[in-house]
Chain A
Amino acid sequence: MLPPASCRAPYDDFEGLSLVPLDNAPDRPPAPPAGGALPPLSGPPPRQPHPPGLPVAAVPLRMRVQFHGEGGEFFRIWIVNLLLTVLTLGIYSAWAKVRTRRYFYGCTSLAGSTFEYLAEPVAILKGRAVLAVALLLLYASLSMMPLFGAALLVGALPFVPALIVSSLRFNYRVTRWRNVAFRFTGSYGGAAVAFLLWPLLGVVSFGLLWPKAIQAQRSYLLNHVHYGNAAFSADIPLWPVYGCSIVASVLLGIVTAVATVLSGLMLARAGLRPQSMADLDHWQLFALVLPTLAYLFGLTLSAAYYRAALRNIVLADVAIGDGHGLRSHVSVLDYIAFATGNLLLTVVTLGLARPWVRVRTARYFATTTTIRFAVPAGAAMAGIAAVTEAAGRRGSTLGDAAGDAFDWDLSL
């Protein structure tokens, strides 16, 4: 027997939606409206009749991105992926990647519609094979012929922006929402400036220009994204990026100093000078490991702070097309606690909790992202009429594989 048909949205997102005029829109995600009073959207129809008196048109709408994945469900996908990857000596990893991405995209929904990831695993496999051989050669030459290896490393630099650009093109091209693809239109020159020139200046200036490099990179990554014919644009302010970089560095500096002093004291107490690893006994090892763990803990705190704060700055006010927008509102302290818990969970379970952590993280970032529609969603969607993709601008699979390694994408 075939199951009975019912008019059902893939997911019911509507509890996350609220009608808030932009002027007094809250910073935090709005609480679900009581009573389920909802405007009609395109796509799935509302369950309840639209109550009179609520504005339907000409009011900006904020909608939270939703995530519907479950840790247990993803654990089963993850473990099968890993086993098949190992049994096929890595060949299945391309399929595993596509399945993982498809799961996370398919579980992410906005206005009742989910995201699609349509990459071909075979294409990714080819890219990965090339990358694996290149990395193996590089690793081998670095360990056997350090000078030649270093020259190889420098010689490969000009290819990095090309890999980044084609990876971004590929990844956005295969990402769709409501049957309309994203696009990335950044150029090689722009990528070279953002990912080679600015970091180089950042290093030469002893880190003083590093936040500028980060700002340039985020700006490049964001300002060349299109959803259909709607372009993303954002002015990322420079000084807040400096501010959060300084706070993160100071945080890391304090923790490093404390860990170093602690390590010195413990080693001195043990009556030892630091020697090679091979000359240590258990107690000395403990004296070294404890501060190292403290340092890693501090690194986690600092990285979590930086990630949350930077995300709020970068995605503070992203304009999409004609009056639509995107905004991040992560609570920084909340996220630090969340990320620390995730790390502990991962370590304590020797990595087995990783699927739950990934699902939790995806849900966290989805629900701290709101999309603003300039007009009620139905009309807004009509405004985002798709453009046909430019022919002949195909992202290379090698680029996608490299993008895999670097993980360049604008994850929501």
Chain B
Amino acid sequence: MSEAGSLRIAGCHYPAGSAAGQAAELHVSADGALRLEPGGRALGHWRGLRVPERLGRAPRVLGLGDGGGFETGDNAAVDACERRFRGRVAGGRLHALEGRWTIAWLALAGLGFSIFAGFVWGIPALAARVAPWLPASVVVGSSEETLASLDRHVLRPSRLPAARCEALEATRARLAARAGLSGGRLECRRGGAFGANAFALPSGLVVITDEFVELGGDDDELAGVLAHEVAHVEYRHGLRQALQGSLLTLGAALLTGDLANAGSFIAHLPVVLAGLHYSRDFEREADARGAALMRAEGRDPRALARALARLEGAARQKERPAAPAWLSDHPDTQERIARIEALAR
């Protein structure tokens, strides 16, 4: 039996460079000297061992100084020796965290909150900081590429009178100057599958479709729509949406890295929904800024609300039901109108 203060650890000894192990005991004396039994070979001091961190109940292989190993499932004895001869247990704090269910449930709650906070505040803030650093040439080039691609596949040349389009461009230029933006231009196109629509690309390029102009809105309404698009450009929403999409994908990959096959598809769904959420936030921001730009121009800030109502009325005539709010890249139209009215008051 053991002398006072000494300890025996049962396990399996592997000599250096060989898998031929032997059942053995590691005798640890009160001052930390090691002896292997059977055989009685001295193995130096405990502090000379390479001790892996504790991990659940999994056995550990202690690295001996001579390249051999000693495998043992007696984690308590190993930790006791670590505490006594090294003063601390490597990874002991982690093991303590991982050992308790209370901590696990707290960690779960903390994780839920962290994901929520990262999604609501972290990612948008990071993207807003990074967006201004992207080189202008990339932004302009990619926007032109996007328009060229849309021209090939969806859009057709505009049939509006040239004067109408030029007037709209003049309005856009005034609004852009008011927002402190230089450059950018307006393009008129027949929308095709896009229908009545207007959108902005990161370089400042704004596209409005004939169908939108032909809805019959007055000049203020169209200016309101252009102000909304200029606001998207001013706040770099296109870039930020792309960046936030990348960050979301990265975050999801980090969290669900071990999901495979069909599981990865299911894991991708939250990323899509979160992306749509960001898009709706940008639309609200652009509505508010657009209204402010209109007011600064001395025009009616409610004009965009009227344009939206007209757009929705046209859609209703065609009996096209609206998408569920959580699946749309724009907020509910009635909500947007109410917000703009409230801002204009």
Which residues of A in the span 224-263 have a Cβ within 8 Å of any Cβ on B? Answer: 228
User: Which of A55-63, A190-198, A212-220, A272-280 faces chain B?
Assistant: A272-280
Q: Determine the chain A residues whose CB is within 8 A of the CB of B322 once the complex forms.
A: 281
User: What separation, in Å, do the CA atoms of A180 and B243 have in the docked complex?
Assistant: 46
Tell me if B170 counts as interface (CB < 8 A to partner A): no
Write the nearest CB–CB distance from A47 to chain B, whole angstroms: 11
Cβ of B19 and Cβ of A385 under 8 Å apart?
Answer: yes
Judge whether A6 is part of the interface by a CB distance below 8 angstroms.
yes
Task: Please determine whether B254 and A179 come into contact, CB atoms closer than 8 angstroms.
Answer: no
19 additional contacts, CB 8 Å, given A86-B118, A143-B246? A8-B11, A10-B59, A42-B22, A42-B23, A43-B22, A76-B99, A80-B103, A83-B114, A93-B254, A103-B55, A106-B55, A106-B56, A114-B61, A281-B321, A284-B321, A296-B266, A303-B261, A346-B259, A388-B17
Q: Is the interface of B mostly helix, strand, loop or mixed?
A: mixed
Interface of A with B (CB < 8 Å)? 2-3, 5-11, 42-45, 68-70, 72-77, 79-80, 82-83, 85-87, 90, 93, 99, 102-103, 106-107, 109, 112-114, 116, 132, 135-136, 139-140, 143-147, 176-180, 228, 277-282, 284-285, 296, 299-300, 303, 343, 346-347, 351-352, 354, 358, 378, 381-382, 384-388, 404
Given contacts A42-B21, A85-B254, A381-B19, contact A79 B246 (CB under 8 A): no
- CB of B21 within 8 A of CB of A43, answer yes
Please report the C-alpha to C-alpha distance between residue A387 and residue B58 in the assembled complex, in whole angstroms: 27
Write 28 A-B pairs (CB below 8 A) sorted by A numbering: A3-B76, A3-B80, A43-B22, A69-B58, A73-B57, A76-B103, A80-B103, A80-B104, A86-B118, A90-B254, A103-B58, A106-B58, A107-B56, A136-B250, A143-B245, A145-B142, A145-B145, A178-B19, A179-B14, A277-B327, A279-B323, A281-B324, A296-B262, A351-B267, A354-B259, A358-B258, A381-B19, A382-B20
Does B114 contact A87, Cβ atoms closer than 8 Å?
Answer: yes
Q: Roughly how many angstroms separate A11 CA and B56 CA in the complex, as a whole number?
A: 14
Which residue, of B7, B103, B257, B329, has the highest number of chain A Cβ atoms within 10 A?
B257
Shortest Cβ distance from B162 into chain A, in angstroms? 31
Smallest distance from the beta carbon of B122 to chain A beta carbons, Å?
9
B172 within 8 A of partner (CB): no
Pairwise interchain contact B71-A5, C-beta atoms closer than 8 A: no
Nearest A residue (CB) for B9: A5
Which residues on the B side are within 8 Å of A3 (C-beta)?
A: 74, 76-77, 80
On whether the beta carbons of A5 and B111 are closer than 8 Å, the reply is no
Chain A residues, CB < 8 A from B115 = 86
B138 at the interface (CB under 8 A from A): yes
Please indicate the chain B residues that have their CB under 8 angstroms from the CB of A72 in the complex.
101
Per the bound structure, the CA–CA distance linking A140 and B246 in Å amounts to 7
Which 6 residue pairs are nearest across A and B when measured between Cβ atoms? A106-B58, A5-B8, A10-B59, A179-B14, A10-B73, A179-B69
Bound-state Cα–Cα, A10 to B9, Å: 11
A5, A103, A112: which contacts B7 (Cβ < 8 A)? A5
Cα A358 to Cα B258 in complex, Å, equals 9
Contact check, B56 vs A114: say whether CB atoms are below 8 A apart.
no
What separation, in Å, do the CA atoms of A114 and B58 have in the docked complex? 8
Which B residue's beta carbon lies closest to that of A354? B258
Bound-state CA distance A112–B14 (Å) is 13
Q: Give every chain B residue within 8 A of A278 (Cβ-Cβ).
A: 323, 327-330
> Does B68 sit at the interface, judged by CB under 8 A?
yes
A10 to B75 Cα, complex, angstroms:
10
Q: Flag whether B125 is at the interface (Cβ < 8 A).
A: no
B residues neighboring A (CB under 8 Å): 2, 7-12, 14, 16-23, 25, 52-53, 55-61, 68-69, 71-74, 76-77, 80, 94, 97-101, 103-104, 107-108, 110-111, 114-115, 118, 138-139, 141-142, 145, 149, 242-243, 245-246, 249-250, 254-259, 261-263, 265-267, 320-324, 327-330
Given the known inter-chain contacts A136-B250, A177-B19, A385-B20, please indicate yes or no for A114 contacting B80, CB distance below 8 A: no
Q: How far is the CA of A312 from the CA of B321 in the complex (A)?
A: 52
B10, B261, B266, B320: which contacts A8 (Cβ < 8 A)?
Answer: B10
Once bound together, how far apart are the Cα atoms of A44 and B14, in whole Å?
A: 12
Q: Which of A10, A77, A132 has the most CB of B within 10 A?
A: A10
Contact present for B138 and A44 (CB under 8 Å): no
The residue in chain A whose Cβ has the minimal distance to the Cβ of B14 is: A179
- B10 near A277: Cβ-Cβ < 8 Å: no
Chain B nearest Cβ from A225, distance in angstroms: 15
Residues of chain B within 8 A of A103, CB atoms compared: 55-56, 58
Given the interface pairs A6-B10, A139-B249, the reply to whether A76 lies near B255 with Cβ below 8 Å is no
The residues of A that contact B57 with a CB separation of less than 8 Å are: 68, 70, 73
Q: Which B residues are in CB contact (< 8 Å) with A80?
A: 94, 97-98, 103-104, 107
User: What is the chain B residue whose CB lies nearest that of A176?
Assistant: B61
**Distance in angstroms between the alpha carbons of A281 and B319 in the assembled complex:** 12
Question: Would you call B19 and A386 a contact (CB within 8 A)?
Answer: yes
Provided the pairs A113-B71, A296-B262 are in contact, do residues A9 and B111 lie with their beta carbons within 8 angstroms? no
Contact check: which of B10, B107, B266 meets A79 at CB < 8 Å? B107
CB distance from A215 to the nearest CB of B (A): 20
Give, as a whole number of angstroms, the nearest-CB distance from A293 to chain B.
10
Q: With A and B bound together, what is the CA distance between A277 and B69 in angstroms?
A: 60
Say yes or no: B104 contacts A79, CB within 8 Å: yes
In the bound complex, do residue B250 and residue A132 qualify as a contact, i.e. CB atoms below 8 Å apart?
Answer: yes
Contact B261 A300, beta carbon cutoff 8 Å: yes
* Cβ–Cβ < 8 Å partners of A2 in chain B: 7, 77, 80
Also in contact, A178 and B21, with CB within 8 A (given A11-B73, A116-B61, A135-B250): yes
How far apart are A377's CB and chain B's nearest CB, in angstroms?
10
